[in-house]
Amino acid sequence: MRKEDKVSVIAQLSEKLNEYAHFYLVDVTGLNSEQTSNLRRKCFEKEIKMVVVKNNLLIKALDNHEVDFEPLYGCLKGNTAVMFCNVANVPAKLLKEVTDKKTTIPALKAAYAEESFYVGAENLEALCAIKSKKELIADVVALLQSPAKNVISALQGNGGQLIHGLLKTLEEREA
Protein backbone atom coordinates (compact mmCIF):
# COMPACT_ATOMS: atom_id res chain seq x y z
CA MET A 1 0.00 0.00 0.00
CA ARG A 2 1.34 3.41 -0.95
CA LYS A 3 2.02 6.01 1.71
CA GLU A 4 -0.67 8.34 0.28
CA ASP A 5 -3.23 5.53 0.56
CA LYS A 6 -2.25 4.84 4.16
CA VAL A 7 -2.58 8.53 5.06
CA SER A 8 -6.01 8.56 3.41
CA VAL A 9 -7.18 5.47 5.32
CA ILE A 10 -5.93 6.90 8.63
CA ALA A 11 -7.79 10.15 7.92
CA GLN A 12 -10.99 8.26 7.11
CA LEU A 13 -10.72 6.20 10.30
CA SER A 14 -10.07 9.35 12.36
CA GLU A 15 -13.15 10.92 10.81
CA LYS A 16 -15.26 7.89 11.75
CA LEU A 17 -13.94 8.01 15.33
CA ASN A 18 -15.11 11.61 15.57
CA GLU A 19 -18.45 10.90 13.86
CA TYR A 20 -19.53 7.90 15.97
CA ALA A 21 -19.69 7.76 19.76
CA HIS A 22 -19.02 4.03 20.13
CA PHE A 23 -17.05 1.34 18.31
CA TYR A 24 -16.42 -2.39 18.58
CA LEU A 25 -13.35 -4.35 17.49
CA VAL A 26 -14.43 -7.70 16.07
CA ASP A 27 -12.51 -10.79 14.95
CA VAL A 28 -13.84 -11.85 11.54
CA THR A 29 -11.23 -14.54 10.87
CA GLY A 30 -12.77 -17.54 9.18
CA LEU A 31 -15.90 -15.88 7.84
CA ASN A 32 -16.53 -16.82 4.24
CA SER A 33 -17.83 -14.32 1.70
CA GLU A 34 -21.49 -15.26 2.25
CA GLN A 35 -21.21 -14.90 6.03
CA THR A 36 -19.38 -11.58 5.64
CA SER A 37 -22.05 -10.29 3.26
CA ASN A 38 -24.81 -11.32 5.68
CA LEU A 39 -23.00 -9.59 8.55
CA ARG A 40 -22.56 -6.41 6.52
CA ARG A 41 -26.25 -6.48 5.52
CA LYS A 42 -27.35 -6.81 9.14
CA CYS A 43 -24.99 -4.01 10.15
CA PHE A 44 -26.49 -1.76 7.48
CA GLU A 45 -30.03 -2.56 8.69
CA LYS A 46 -29.08 -1.60 12.26
CA GLU A 47 -27.20 1.58 11.23
CA ILE A 48 -23.78 0.18 12.09
CA LYS A 49 -20.83 1.09 9.87
CA MET A 50 -18.50 -1.93 9.57
CA VAL A 51 -14.98 -1.48 8.20
CA VAL A 52 -12.24 -4.10 7.93
CA VAL A 53 -8.94 -2.41 8.77
CA LYS A 54 -5.24 -3.00 9.07
CA ASN A 55 -4.32 -2.97 12.74
CA ASN A 56 -1.34 -0.61 12.36
CA LEU A 57 -3.45 1.95 10.49
CA LEU A 58 -6.16 1.75 13.15
CA ILE A 59 -3.57 2.31 15.90
CA LYS A 60 -2.34 5.43 14.11
CA ALA A 61 -5.93 6.71 13.77
CA LEU A 62 -6.58 6.01 17.46
CA ASP A 63 -3.37 7.88 18.36
CA ASN A 64 -4.71 10.95 16.52
CA HIS A 65 -7.79 11.05 18.76
CA GLU A 66 -7.92 12.98 22.06
CA VAL A 67 -8.98 9.85 24.03
CA ASP A 68 -6.20 7.47 25.10
CA PHE A 69 -7.17 4.15 23.47
CA GLU A 70 -4.07 2.28 24.65
CA PRO A 71 -6.09 -0.43 26.52
CA LEU A 72 -7.39 -1.59 23.11
CA TYR A 73 -3.99 -1.96 21.43
CA GLY A 74 -3.38 -5.46 22.83
CA CYS A 75 -6.49 -6.72 20.98
CA LEU A 76 -5.30 -5.53 17.59
CA LYS A 77 -3.92 -8.78 16.26
CA GLY A 78 -5.17 -10.85 13.33
CA ASN A 79 -8.12 -9.79 11.20
CA THR A 80 -10.02 -6.89 12.70
CA ALA A 81 -13.28 -5.29 11.70
CA VAL A 82 -14.43 -2.10 13.36
CA MET A 83 -18.14 -1.55 13.97
CA PHE A 84 -18.97 2.12 14.41
CA CYS A 85 -22.33 3.09 15.91
CA ASN A 86 -24.17 5.79 17.84
CA VAL A 87 -26.16 3.44 20.10
CA ALA A 88 -23.82 1.55 22.42
CA ASN A 89 -25.63 -1.79 22.73
CA VAL A 90 -26.74 -2.39 19.12
CA PRO A 91 -23.49 -4.04 17.88
CA ALA A 92 -23.36 -6.26 20.99
CA LYS A 93 -26.89 -7.50 20.38
CA LEU A 94 -26.07 -8.05 16.70
CA LEU A 95 -22.91 -10.02 17.56
CA LYS A 96 -24.86 -12.14 20.03
CA GLU A 97 -27.48 -12.82 17.36
CA VAL A 98 -25.10 -13.75 14.52
CA THR A 99 -22.29 -15.51 16.38
CA ASP A 100 -21.98 -19.12 15.30
CA LYS A 101 -22.04 -21.17 18.50
CA LYS A 102 -19.66 -23.78 17.08
CA THR A 103 -16.87 -21.40 16.09
CA THR A 104 -17.77 -18.26 18.10
CA ILE A 105 -17.05 -16.18 15.00
CA PRO A 106 -17.49 -13.23 14.63
CA ALA A 107 -16.07 -12.65 18.08
CA LEU A 108 -15.80 -9.51 20.14
CA LYS A 109 -12.19 -8.45 20.74
CA ALA A 110 -12.91 -5.18 22.53
CA ALA A 111 -15.24 -2.21 22.56
CA TYR A 112 -15.30 1.46 23.42
CA ALA A 113 -18.85 2.21 24.58
CA GLU A 114 -20.23 4.91 26.85
CA GLU A 115 -16.70 6.26 27.36
CA SER A 116 -15.54 2.92 28.82
CA PHE A 117 -13.30 0.13 27.57
CA TYR A 118 -14.50 -3.47 27.37
CA VAL A 119 -11.69 -5.88 26.50
CA GLY A 120 -12.46 -9.51 25.73
CA ALA A 121 -15.39 -11.56 24.47
CA GLU A 122 -16.60 -12.19 28.02
CA ASN A 123 -17.90 -8.59 28.08
CA LEU A 124 -20.51 -9.22 25.38
CA GLU A 125 -23.33 -9.73 27.91
CA ALA A 126 -22.40 -6.53 29.76
CA LEU A 127 -22.42 -4.62 26.48
CA CYS A 128 -25.84 -6.04 25.59
CA ALA A 129 -27.16 -4.78 28.93
CA ILE A 130 -26.03 -1.18 28.37
CA LYS A 131 -29.07 1.03 27.95
CA SER A 132 -29.21 3.69 25.28
CA LYS A 133 -29.96 7.30 26.10
CA LYS A 134 -33.55 6.89 24.84
CA GLU A 135 -34.07 3.79 27.00
CA LEU A 136 -32.78 5.61 30.10
CA ILE A 137 -35.08 8.59 29.45
CA ALA A 138 -38.03 6.21 29.02
CA ASP A 139 -37.18 4.55 32.36
CA VAL A 140 -37.02 7.93 34.14
CA VAL A 141 -40.35 9.03 32.62
CA ALA A 142 -41.96 5.73 33.69
CA LEU A 143 -40.66 6.18 37.24
CA LEU A 144 -41.99 9.74 37.37
CA GLN A 145 -45.40 8.68 36.05
CA SER A 146 -45.76 5.76 38.47
CA PRO A 147 -46.87 7.76 41.59
CA ALA A 148 -49.31 9.83 39.54
CA LYS A 149 -50.84 6.68 38.05
CA ASN A 150 -51.28 5.20 41.53
CA VAL A 151 -53.15 8.29 42.77
CA ILE A 152 -55.36 8.41 39.67
CA SER A 153 -56.21 4.71 39.89
CA ALA A 154 -57.03 5.09 43.60
CA LEU A 155 -59.35 8.00 42.82
CA GLN A 156 -61.05 6.10 40.01
CA GLY A 157 -61.46 2.83 41.89
CA ASN A 158 -63.15 2.01 45.19
CA GLY A 159 -60.52 4.10 46.91
CA GLY A 160 -62.08 7.15 45.28
CA GLN A 161 -65.27 6.69 47.29
CA LEU A 162 -63.20 6.28 50.43
CA ILE A 163 -61.23 9.45 49.74
CA HIS A 164 -64.44 11.32 48.84
CA GLY A 165 -66.01 10.24 52.12
CA LEU A 166 -62.92 11.28 54.05
CA LEU A 167 -62.89 14.71 52.42
CA LYS A 168 -66.63 15.16 53.11
CA THR A 169 -66.12 14.29 56.79
CA LEU A 170 -63.26 16.80 57.07
CA GLU A 171 -65.43 19.46 55.43
CA GLU A 172 -68.28 18.84 57.86
CA ARG A 173 -65.91 19.12 60.86
CA GLU A 174 -64.72 22.54 59.74
CA ALA A 175 -68.23 23.80 59.22
Report pTM: 0.76
Q: Which residues pair with 26 in a beta bridge?
A: 81, 108
To the nearest 10°, report the CA torsion of 1, 30, 116, 56: -20
Cα 172 from Cα 64, distance rounded (Å): 76
The one-digit pLDDT tens for each residue of the chain (175 residues) are: 898 999 999 999 999 999 999 999 999 888 888 988 999 999 999 999 999 999 999 999 999 888 999 999 999 998 899 999 999 999 999 999 888 666 777 889 999 998 899 999 899 999 998 887 788 888 888 888 777 777 666 666 665 566 677 777 878 887 6
Strands 80-85 and 22-27: antiparallel
Cα 48 from Cα 83, distance rounded (Å): 6
Instruction: Please classify residue 86 by burial: count the beta carbons closer than 10 Å to its beta carbon, then call 0-12 exposed, 13-18 middle and 19+ buried.
Output: middle
- In this structure, how many other beta carbons lie within 10 angstroms of the beta carbon of residue 28? 18
- In this structure, how many other beta carbons lie within 10 angstroms of the beta carbon of residue 11? 12
